[in-house]
Chain A
């Protein structure tokens, strides 16, 4: 199984992704949750690259909510009004007892992470491979979330390899 080849930082990032998905009311763990997981776990080259480009956990969560809000307003619903009407009881969190699966796209990202690692001749799957896997899906939710944060795939990939080069020296 692919999980066996994950570096410890990658396992932590995947665990964090599941927690982020729950907190945001996502009934499956998607690409944007994997991205949030990398930022939240805050370990490894990927997290460093993201934070050096100004991506914070708070900022990324806000954009995730912003995307939800935009999607709702495209069909004429204001998330703000729903929140105001429903009051404090409105809680998007998915309860612990409900298991949530990985979305097909998130699974694909993890598979691609393996391929990225093999391509770079790394003998581990680190968060940078997961991040590269995320960036390969250009119209995915994570890439769009990054765009909202002012980060393009090219910028991020460039920074990633810069930092990897530094670590290798």
Chain B
């Protein structure tokens, strides 16, 4: 029973190791999200388009990423892909 449960959940057997894996994943996920949002922005995607794919609101994406990305690309908003393009 225990064996079965463990197999189903998978991953490390030591709970601390398992929890630390979650922390490591979260850090990696945050870095990946930042990188991919930045890529999309540089490719000319609008916040609305980025948000749609991420499955969150435009406000949420903007709040989390806009400041960092605008600091990195000051005064050069990339050409936006309008809806008609």
The smallest beta-carbon distance between A61 and chain B, in angstroms, is 14
Number of A-B contacts (CB under 8 A): 61
Which of B's residues lie within 8 Å of A, judged by CB?
10-12, 16-18, 20-21, 23-28, 30-32, 34-36, 38-39, 67-68, 71
Pick 25 A–B contacts, CB within 8 A, sort by A.
Answer: A25-B27, A25-B30, A27-B27, A27-B30, A68-B24, A68-B27, A72-B21, A72-B25, A74-B12, A74-B17, A74-B18, A75-B10, A75-B12, A75-B21, A75-B25, A77-B28, A79-B28, A82-B28, A86-B32, A86-B35, A86-B36, A89-B39, A90-B31, A90-B32, A95-B68
A169 within 8 A of B: no
The smallest beta-carbon distance between A165 and chain B, in angstroms, is 36
B71 touches A74 (CB 8 A): no
Which of A's residues lie within 8 Å of B, judged by CB?
25-27, 68, 71-72, 74-77, 79, 82, 86-87, 89-92, 95, 97, 139
The smallest beta-carbon distance between B81 and chain A, in angstroms, is 19
B24 touches A72 (CB 8 A): yes
Q: A86-B36, A89-B36, A95-B68 are in contact. List 5 more A-B contacts (CB 8 A).
A: A25-B31, A27-B30, A75-B12, A90-B35, A97-B68
